[in-house]
Amino acid sequence: MRFVRVVFASVMLCTNALLAQVATTTTISSSANPASVGQTITFTITVKAASSVALTGPVRIYSNGNPAPDLPLVNGVAKTSVVASAPPRTFQLIATYLGDANSAASTSAPLNQVINATPGVAPTTITVSSSNNPGLTGQYITYTATVVTSGAHAPTGKVSFYTSSTVAQTFSLGSNGKATGSGIFNTAGTFPVTANYSGDSNNSGSTSPVLGQVIQTGGGPSGPQGPYQFIPITPCRIADTRQPTGQFGGPAIGGGQTRTFPIQQSSCGIPATAAAYALNVTAVPKGPLQWLTVWPTGQTLPQISLLNSFDGRVKANAAIVPAGMSGSIDVYAQTKGSTDVVIDINGYFLPATPASLQFYPVTPCRVVDTRNPSGPFGGPYIPAGQSRSFALLSGSCHLPKSAQAYSLNVTALPAGPLSWLTAWPTGETQPLASTLNAPTGTIVANAAIVPAGTNGAVSIFSSNDTDVLVDVNGYFAPPASGGVSLYTVPPCRVVDSRLFPYSPFPGTYDVNVQQSYCNVPYAASAFVLNATVAPPGAFQYLTLFPGGASQPVVSTLNAIDGAITSNMAIVPSSNSVVDAFASDSTGLIVDISSYFAP
């Protein structure tokens, strides 16, 4: 984990000498390590200064990269106690002294706290292996952890991988006693890799020996790729596996299988210079779909998902996907059956040209709500089989006339089952493409980059009666002051609030993207995220917005029926923090695929 804190020291003249902050050291210790479930553990943080000064700054503990509330220092010491809860596991703690006017900030070495099951469970061992050792910079490397028990019961639970970051990747242990994770390194060197097994009611937790991962210079993308600017197009269908067998048709994608789609060879006219695509991906499962993911051809399957459909309903999600080998993308489905896939494109990113556009982030703003009284941006609802046009430039969000495409979040609130809804530039023929589907009649949202049509307007068609919300978080226009460009990064998980020590939460959650291990710079002006909620029950809405800003009257996604739900979101940020507001209790998973920066 990279932790960046900028401290602006007060400067004053005193007999022509400059007073500097005193260096400090911070340590963290545990009263019981390992501890057993139900045992009280006291963590002691000690801060010492290089010279005699009073230490007044607070201390912050990070557990698996997630910050806990700040603790006050008393005579250089802070303490906090917790009761070790099930399941058995290992988690990593780091303490940071935040400093004050006279003393500098400092960070402790990591402490791996082990929580064992109650006495009497079987001991286990865990080992971790690498798919490529040595590996190359920019190369995806898969790690496999193997858990062996001395008892009669097969181990279950979770395995957490620690690579070059203090933020863990955590996965369920398979029935074969194995779990896999992945990592990518941007610099050459030797890096420690460990795996921690959580344990279960019959098997104790365990920690692997350290694996020295050697990384040599070379390989694929060694960091962010870009800058790229945008070319919008009228939404166009790239692939539909429900059609007869062919390069962009059938067959459906079987469980555990991958299909490659050469985007630049499709009929949508995408040039060979395209470096990334703005897509809408729809899954049409033939049964429960555990997860589906999309990534650049030639790279390793990432350990993140684009969407889930556990009940087999039709679902869509937007995605900005880098072009892989030969301009292709791969689609993988994890299902016991198979799923059809529909891929639409509404634009692409490439190195700057005279015609390309930059992105201009805006604070998320609601421009259309047809539940409101009748008006250009209010009611009535859209009747079945009809469309409405919305002149977004005349709305209350103050979008400029230079805008040639919009970054939108479109939400359907249907009166019943809704087959599909489509957004496209006003004045053009309605395309054979869809923005979202709501076959169960629940509220559904999806992100969409939509070109501006006649007088800057956007049209929306619905197959069935529905109200519509349209929120805007930015626009694309010719390069000028304030414009930013796209940089792609390997798909990466920023946070998973389901993991210890956190649990499903309501309220506001701070997602610090720069502090994750995803190698995103502080200079980013907006993040391209995939947000997923895993609520225990009915969930009204999630809103992502710039960290530290007032919560806007917009929504990112809804899960009224309690289903696991995902949506892409382009979220502005001036401090690398995105605030997530959850109306109800939920687990939150946030992945990143790219960002915008000057």
Tens of pLDDT along 157-210? 988 888 755 556 778 888 899 988 766 666 778 888 989 898 888 888 888 999
pLDDT tens-digit map of 52-70: 888 988 999 988 877 888 8
Amino acid identity of residue 161, one-letter, is F
- Cα-based distances in Å from 125 to 122, 207, 387, 415, 475: 10, 7, 61, 55, 53
pLDDT tens-digit map of 251-265: 999 999 999 999 999
124-216 maps to CATH 2.60.40.10: yes
Query: CA 378, CA 74: separation in Å to the nearest integer?
Result: 57
Residue identified by tokens 């460009």 is 485
pLDDT band for position 340 (50/70/90)? very high
* For residues 558-583, average pLDDT: 94
Residue 543's closest CA among 371, 406, 533, 535? 533
Query: CA 431, CA 459: separation in Å to the nearest integer?
Result: 11
Query: CA 415, CA 467: separation in Å to the nearest integer?
Result: 8
Residue 250 is predicted with a pLDDT of: 95
Q: Which CATH architecture has domain 13-114?
A: Sandwich (2.60)
Other CB atoms within 10 A of residue 473 CB? 27
Three-state secondary structure string covering 60-94: EEEECCEECCCECCECCEEEEEEECCCCCEEEEEE
CATH topology of domain 223-355: Jelly Rolls (2.60.120)
pLDDT band for position 7 (50/70/90)? very low
Q: What is the CATH number that goes with domain 358-477?
A: 2.60.120
Residue 138 is predicted with a pLDDT of: 59
Each domain of the chain, given as residue ranges in start order, spans 13-114, 124-216, 223-355, 358-477, 484-598
Residue 370: which residues within 8 A CB-CB, separation 6 or more?
378, 379, 380, 381, 382, 388, 467, 468, 469
* For residues 119-136, average pLDDT: 86
* Element housing 138 (H / E): none
For the chain, count helices (H), then strands (E).
0, 44
pLDDT band for position 318 (50/70/90)? very high
Query: CA 349, CA 230: separation in Å to the nearest integer?
Result: 4
Query: CA 340, CA 342: separation in Å to the nearest integer?
Result: 7
Stretch among 255-264, 298-307, 334-343, 383-392 having the lowest mean pLDDT? 298-307
Mean pLDDT of the chain: 89
Residue 218 is predicted with a pLDDT of: 55
Say if CB 237 and CB 229 are below 8 A apart. Answer: no
What pTM, to 2 d.p., does this model score?
A: 0.68
Say if CB 515 and CB 65 are below 8 A apart. Answer: yes
Residue 564 is predicted with a pLDDT of: 95
Query: CA 88, CA 441: separation in Å to the nearest integer?
Result: 41
pLDDT tens-digit map of 577-590: 999 999 999 989 99
What is the biggest distance separating any 2 CA atoms in the chain, rounded to whole angstroms? 85
pLDDT band for position 13 (50/70/90)? very low
Residue 253's closest CA among 343, 140, 344? 343
pLDDT tens-digit map of 460-478: 999 999 999 999 999 999 9
Residue 140 is predicted with a pLDDT of: 60
CATH topology of domain 484-598: Jelly Rolls (2.60.120)
Residue 112 has pLDDT above 50, yes or no: yes
Query: CA 83, CA 150: separation in Å to the nearest integer?
Result: 28
Stretch among 117-121, 296-300, 311-315, 334-338 having the lowest mean pLDDT? 117-121
Other CB atoms within 10 A of residue 137 CB? 19
Say if CB 475 and CB 398 are below 8 A apart. Answer: no
Residue 393's closest CA among 429, 364, 363, 367? 367
* For residues 403-428, average pLDDT: 97
Is 358-477 the same fold as 124-216? no
Say if CB 235 and CB 344 are below 8 A apart. Answer: yes
Query: CA 76, CA 56: separation in Å to the nearest integer?
Result: 8
Instruction: Give the residues across from 586 on adjacent strands.
Output: 505
